[in-house]
Amino acid sequence: MALDRETRDQLLDMVARFVAERLRPIEAEVAENDAVPETVIAEMRDLGLFGLSIPEEHGGLGLSMEDETLVAIELGRASPAFRSVFGTNVGIGSQGLVMFGTDAQKAKWLPGIASGETVTSFALTEPEAGSDSASVQTRAVRDGDDYVLTGSKRFITNAGKASLFTVMARTDPDAKGGAGVSAFLVPAGLPGLHVGKAEKKMGQQGAHIHDVTFDGVRVPAENRLGAEGEGFKVAMQVLDRGRLHIAAVCVGVAERLIADCVAYASERKQFGQPIASFQLIQAMLADSKTEALAARALVLETARKRDADQSVTLEAAAAKLFASEMVGRVADRAVQIFGGAGYVADYGIERLYRDVRIFRIYEGTSQIQQLVIARETLRRGG
């Protein structure tokens, strides 16, 4: 549901103040400790951030896609690890349930997801199924009123804290590609479900990814999400929305970096004058600003199309491709503008440079986005 302008402005102002007053001051601490403080996570729950996209009847804010992207842009002005705390609840960890869940499934799980009491995780990627997500090998074999899940998943965000997984598993071993894949709601703590240690990563300290293994995990058949064999459809529709959300976060990070560059370049003096007066510095700022504006426009236009119930598979992929590549270039220029100060940890620029690199990989690599865009363009005839 779209908020009225006054309510939306109040929400965006609240998020902006939370980012400026609570999140940005502790970015270095979170990176050093590789953990977001529990007090801050509790504040996120109180602000309703875990339920941005959950319908109001299930305790969430029920934001439209446009409103959600505007909130994501504001959240992007802080280290991406903060958004990751609740990002799966807002996106890939909940939207399959919102789109395909039965009334009973929604009533059981969505209120807890919206409040943040239930942390969700989306388990699609496997050791041999990353970009080729249709090659899922985790098996789900029907046994009476249960399915028995066996297999492993890789790089699963929030798995260490998740109490509910959306798991893609193959129910028909003879079907080709995604046709034999089904989706399941799998509560944490079931016998045979094991979560590995957190991986050491290049960036986004404070956000954690894990391997998850399923060793004969019995899941009630009533926990299947959608019809048998619809799992790939569930995943792709969830990813459409997730890609748009990530694109919006990229815009927010880029806008923050540009503001930091402007402030630094206006104060830093060389040859007796602020470096902001040098045309080559201005050129980098101009390129960054132009690209960030273009990404913002594409994200918001695509969000409005989705809110109008138009297919946005192509546009969401384009937004994610452009915005994630754009923020990488902006971060690189930021290091260049800051010079040596951008390479050391004091200013946080090198941290953001590392943080944004993952945006070109998860929710589908840039190369996968290119394939989606080309396929959809050919299908549409131009």
Where residue 128 falls among pLDDT bands split at 50, 70, 90? confident
**Residue range 170-199: mean pLDDT, rounded:** 94
Closest CA to 315 of 233, 243, 237: 243
CATH match of 120-228 with 2.40.110.10? yes
DSSP for 200-238 reads P-SS-TT--EEEEEEEEEEEEGGGEESSTT-HHHHHHHH
Q: Which of 230, 255, 291, 363 is catalytic?
A: 363
Calpha distance 193→212 (Å, rounded): 7
Q: pTM here?
A: 0.95
**161 neighbors 217 (Cβ within 8 angstroms):** no
Where residue 232 falls among pLDDT bands split at 50, 70, 90? confident
| pLDDT score of 176 | 85
Question: What token pair was written down for 363?
Answer: 């929710």
Where residue 131 falls among pLDDT bands split at 50, 70, 90? confident
Percent of the chain with pLDDT strictly greater than 90: 91
Could you give the C-alpha distances from 365 to 246, 320, 331, in angstroms and in order? 12, 9, 18
Minimum mean pLDDT range among 103-117, 226-240, 253-267: 226-240
Percent of the chain with pLDDT strictly greater than 70: 100
| pLDDT score of 3 | 86
**56 neighbors 106 (Cβ within 8 angstroms):** no
- Statement: residue 133 has pLDDT above 80: no
Q: What CATH number belongs to 233-380?
A: 1.20.140.10
Identify whether 363 is a catalytic site residue.
Answer: yes
Residues near 80 by beta carbon (within 8 Å), at least 6 away in sequence: 204, 207, 249, 253, 355, 356
- Statement: residue 130 has pLDDT above 90: no
**366 neighbors 325 (Cβ within 8 angstroms):** yes
User: 3-state DSSP call for residue 348?
Assistant: coil
CATH topology of domain 5-115: Butyryl-Coa Dehydrogenase, subunit A; domain 1 (1.10.540)
Q: Could you tell me the end-to-end alpha-carbon distance of the chain, in angstroms, rounded to an integer?
A: 32
Residue 253 or 233, more confident: 253
Helix axes 65-75, 231-267, angle to 10 degrees: 40
Element (H, E) at 194: strand 193-195
Longest dimension (CA), the chain: 79
Average pLDDT of the chain, as a whole number: 95
**Residue range 76-82: mean pLDDT, rounded:** 97
pLDDT digit string (tens) for 280-313?
A: 999 999 999 999 999 999 999 999 999 999 999 9
| pLDDT score of 107 | 97
Q: Where are the domains of the chain?
A: 5-115, 120-228, 233-380
- Pairing relationship of beta strands 181-187 and 139-143 according to DSSP bridges: unpaired
Calpha distance 188→326 (Å, rounded): 37
Alpha-helix residue ranges (DSSP H) falling in the chain: 5-18, 27-33, 38-47, 65-75, 80-90, 95-100, 103-115, 231-267, 279-307, 313-338, 340-343, 349-355, 366-380
**Residue range 273-282: mean pLDDT, rounded:** 98
| pLDDT score of 227 | 93
**Residue range 237-264: mean pLDDT, rounded:** 96
